[in-house]
A and B are shown apart, each in its own frame.
Chain A
């Protein structure tokens, strides 16, 4: 029990936070360079070896660690020092409920590749996220700087608005999968469904191709509008371009983290990148089937491999396949976020707000309504 928990915590800290988050800063630099016809980060080297610029994250960390940590004059010292932690800790702890794979059986023992397989997993992430909002707001307030203050105010307004909408955009998914447990959601997507099954079901059309056109039972196929809205809302919640109005370099310099230096700035920076991974992992789990390989269910994979090897080895191989599938989807979603970040210009403040309250909120309520009607039609 204790060993299992320690291993899981170490995995999250070492692989997801320390391992992947810095690599994403490199991906971001290279992606922006690619889109702007530049070469990108390639100078940091150890004895002439640059490894495609992959040493830049390490150089960044060393630079941030050794810089002076300045607390501005007249700032509220305690709050100023605490707020990067209020941002970073919830971001890291959200990894606890992400399913990196399914539940596997080795004889009598079972292996569950979820940190904490709780029934209210998605609610946990929303609750944790709502606490993280304080870090930004307090950072802006405690810095004793008007630009920071404006950034903090903007952040509080934006974060409350998008929190509400983000919750409502995924209600459709809850209704389809009838669960809030992320591992159950991923498991429910480990199958296929007939894309045009409704033709047969409601109109009695007995065409043969209807049975053959099957798509993976992923959330994105059940809730395409929900997927787009959830991605928009959760990206706005992360405050990155095109939703970076709390930072707004051209208007309020750097907004809430203007007065931060050294590793405290680094924590804000890191938690943004950690949240990119969380967003990618969440959308992959809810909408893109999680660890499920399309058209190949767990039983098919294990059954297929165990024809040549013994079952234990087949299960191990299946874990590897599922984990790589999940990470592939996560990196695909990270890449999508990078593309959006570098191709869209920043929204104006009132545009961000009206996008939330006048477009996303009514649309998500309509989505819930229509989903409910269809579910009643299909099931009852």
Chain B
């Protein structure tokens, strides 16, 4: 096995185990959030192994860093304990989660069965493919309208959040 393969299996197993740790750890919400961080960072490491550097950095910076820190902030602020999640009321939710999970798994398995796992040598990508220059260029030339639309949507969301959070608007 090459070094890349070993690293892939290490991070892959880490990602799966910590994802399970996040879902199954119902006692301790902070530990569960930290498991999510480990999942995100391991995914970032797998992207690194795929030489998708920008995606890896964004994965770690945005998902691993910013978003889960916000989760953690809220979780710590609320300081939830097990009493606030009485086991009886979640049966429907749990059932729904299991059904969705099985459906996704079935779909993945069907897709894997149809497509050959090892494609012949893929075509070489052009120099700098997927780097920040190419991403920036295509975002701000070809897709500039979409970017602007998304930014408007985000602005509306920020204003909405402000109005919801501020009890008294002066």
B85 touches A (CB below 8 Å): no
- Whether A180 and B69, one on each chain, are in contact in the complex, defined by CB atoms closer than 8 angstroms, is no
- Whether A134 and B69, one on each chain, are in contact in the complex, defined by CB atoms closer than 8 angstroms, is yes
One of B41, B66, B76, B77 near A163 (C-beta < 8 A): B66
B-side interface residues, number (CB < 8 Å): 23
- Whether B66 and A120, one on each chain, are in contact in the complex, defined by CB atoms closer than 8 angstroms, is no
- Whether A127 and B73, one on each chain, are in contact in the complex, defined by CB atoms closer than 8 angstroms, is no
Which residues of chain B have C-beta atoms less than 8 A from A157's C-beta? 73
Which residues of chain A have C-beta atoms less than 8 A from B66's C-beta? 130, 160, 163-164
A163 to B41, CA, bound (A): 18
Per-position binary interface string of chain B over residues 58-90, scored 1 when its CB falls under 8 Å from any chain A CB and 0 otherwise: 001100111001101100110000000000000
A-side interface residues, number (CB < 8 Å): 28
Interface-forming stretch among A15-23, A148-156, A227-235? A148-156
A164 to B60, CA, bound (A): 14
- Whether B57 and A124, one on each chain, are in contact in the complex, defined by CB atoms closer than 8 angstroms, is yes
B131 touches A (CB below 8 Å): yes
Which residues of chain B have C-beta atoms less than 8 A from A153's C-beta? 73, 76-77
Q: Given A124-B57, A159-B69, verify A137-B31 contact (CB < 8 Å).
A: no
A195 touches B (CB below 8 Å): no
Judged by DSSP, the binding face of A is helix
B143 touches A (CB below 8 Å): no
- Whether A141 and B76, one on each chain, are in contact in the complex, defined by CB atoms closer than 8 angstroms, is yes
A141 to B29, CA, bound (A): 12
Per-position binary interface string of chain A over residues 130-146, scored 1 when its CB falls under 8 Å from any chain B CB and 0 otherwise: 11011001100110000
Interface centre among B28, B30, B54, B77 (most CB of A within 10 A): B30
A131 to B68, CA, bound (A): 10
Could you jot down 9 A-B contacts, CB within 8 Å?
A79-B30, A119-B132, A120-B53, A123-B132, A129-B65, A130-B65, A130-B66, A149-B76, A156-B76
Q: A126-B57, A127-B57 are in contact. List 5 more A-B contacts (CB 8 A).
A: A120-B132, A130-B65, A131-B37, A134-B34, A159-B69
